[in-house]
Amino acid sequence: MKGLVLFTAAATALAVAPAGGASAAPAADSAGAAKITWGQCASPGLQRRGAECGLLDVPLDYSKPNGKKIQIAVSRIKAKVAAKDYQGIMLVNPGGPGGSGLTLSVLGEYVPNGAGEAYDWIGFDPRGVGSSVPALSCDNDYFNGPRPEYIPWNQSIEKTWLNRSKNYAKACGEAGGALLDHMTTVDSVNDMESIRKSLGASQINFYGFSYGTYLGQVYGTLHPQRVRRMVLDGNVDVRKVWYQANLDQDVNFERNERIWFDWLAKYDSVYHLGKTGTEVQLRWYAEQNKLRSKPAGGVVGPDEFTDIFLYAGYYQSTWLELAEAFAGWANDRDTDIIVAAYENYVAPGDDNGFAVYNAVQCTDTQWPQSWNTWERDNWRTFLKAPFMTWDNAWYNAPCLFWPGKVSKPVKVDGSKVKSVLFVGTTLDAATPFEGSLEARRRFPNGSLLAEVGQTTHANSLNGNECVDNTIAEYLATGKLPQRKAGDKADATCEALPQPDPTATSLQAKSLRADSLTREPLYPVHH
């Protein structure tokens, strides 16, 4: 992740009353709610769009509403329609946990047919993140390469990583203090309620990606009467929060990486990495092995190599760039290209996202407290999914030692939520499609839209007209795909073609100019 975004609040508050429409009447429970003093945003992109930014005081501990306060950074891009067409506020979350959502108020302009213009789009940095105060950071050197090898071939490696994880958790305890006891998903849901009240809205609309879908499911469980419409894309399986969810990811990323290896083999005339997926896979591991003794540029060892190419399992939009990095290193020993990929995809130097990721997941629920359990489960998973398993295990290992107070997950029950559109890609690795099916089971008034054959994670509003137009129609009219009998998607869209490196135009290559940051630039383990 990049450095924190700073902004200056205006000296006087701007009016926060919505323009009119279904949710325009101030909510009765908003009397006395803290207000946001709106001012100019620091982000040039938000400035260009006329956004407003500010800080909202919320309780550190909601059981003590008059106690210590922290601040949530909020942005707003107002609706562009007449009062009679106004549809209310739309909160947005990009995932993580730990993803900065302050600039995601721009999302409305990506909704087709102008359907986003009827909403006030509300971006925010969840507690502990980015421009919210305080922002949690524990050790900004943690991802500097080369790091100890992920795979614990011997006890020395295992002990080294356990010590690193323990020291990181300790550093977070020292840096975070009382904040660490109040970083759960429920705390962030309470912050969403505080935002709603501060804006005087009786209901919210919500667009959540990835971990944001868990926020949406929990919000809908605790505050169903406050939900107007929700789009939840890349749905967390609430039965598996969070230990089993990570083990499931390992298997699904293995599949997606092999899909990418097959794609590279298809274009061997371009990349010269192997004529079959198996040949490419063997070449990848051979190159990784060479980095054990001599890291590229002194920083890219086997761990960093894994982290770079993990993104091929997340987003097809990375395939062309990562293919050039792989080929440039493997065939030409281009140190600059592989180090640049590390700096871009791993983004060492700011651990805010990683710190918050741990703070939320380690306290949402109790992780196994015996290392023997972790060791057994990860070695079993490694046998069938070697690419990511130990990377993922050590990413989560601070939970063994986390000093924050552990909570219990909310039992998600969406039976009282009147409207929600679930979206999922059938080959999503970060949030496997089964999570979207489970969300549909728990929300009987919701519908599920599936993008069939797509590996990209949380892929809505990203150029697939079938997907995006369905979402636009829902946001414009409230119309959901008709719910079908059985345990399956209610509507389907076919995935767009995979990128083509032999195409002559950028459009034909299926490249996207990614002006949205939906996920922090580190592995996002849901």
What gap in Å lies between CA 290 and CA 106, rounded to an integer?
A: 43
What gap in Å lies between CA 318 and CA 99, rounded to an integer?
A: 19
What gap in Å lies between CA 298 and CA 451, rounded to an integer?
A: 41
Rounded (10°) angle between helices 319-332 and 277-290: 60
* Cis peptide bond N-terminal to 146, omega within 30: yes
Question: What dihedral angle (degrees, nearest 10) is formed by the CA atoms of 320, 323, 324, 327?
Answer: -160
Q: In one letter, which amino acid is 167?
A: N
What gap in Å lies between CA 183 and CA 357, rounded to an integer?
A: 10
Q: Which of 198, 210, 419, 460 is catalytic?
A: 210
What gap in Å lies between CA 344 and CA 143, rounded to an integer?
A: 13
* Cis peptide bond N-terminal to 97, omega within 30: yes
Residue 36 CA: distances (Å) to CA of 6, 56, 58, 269, 371? 16, 5, 11, 57, 45
Q: Which residues pair with 55 in a beta bridge?
A: 73
Pure H helices in 71-181? 155-176
Q: Which of 457, 468, 490, 526 is catalytic?
A: 457
Q: Which of 364, 428, 468, 490 is catalytic?
A: 428
The residue to which tokens 């108020």 are assigned: 105
Transcribe 359-414 into DSSP letters: HHHHHHSPPP--HHHHHHHHHHHHHH-TTTHHHHHHHHGGGGT--SPP--------
Give the long-range contacts of residues 495-498, CB within 8 A, separation 24 or more. Answer: 495/425, 495/451, 495/452, 495/453, 495/454, 495/464, 496/454, 496/463, 496/464, 498/263, 498/316, 498/319
The total number of residues shown for the chain amounts to 526
Question: Is 141 marked active-site?
Answer: no
Question: Is 210 marked active-site?
Answer: yes
What gap in Å lies between CA 488 and CA 271, rounded to an integer?
A: 39
The residue to which tokens 């950074």 are assigned: 73
The encoded tokens of residue 94 equal 């990009």
Q: What are the two backbone dihedrals, phi and then psi, of residue 448, each rounded to the nearest 5 degrees?
A: -115, 125
Which residues, other chains included, contact 286 with Cβ-Cβ below 8 Å and sequence gap of 6+?
Answer: none
Whether residue 75 contacts residue 36, with contact meaning beta carbons closer than 8 Å, is answered with: no
Question: Is 428 marked active-site?
Answer: yes
Q: Which residues pair with 121 in a beta bridge?
A: 77, 90
Pair type for strands 446-452 and 52-59: unpaired
Residue 346 CA: distances (Å) to CA of 56, 166, 340, 354? 31, 22, 10, 11
Query: Annotated active-site positions, please?
Result: 210, 428, 457
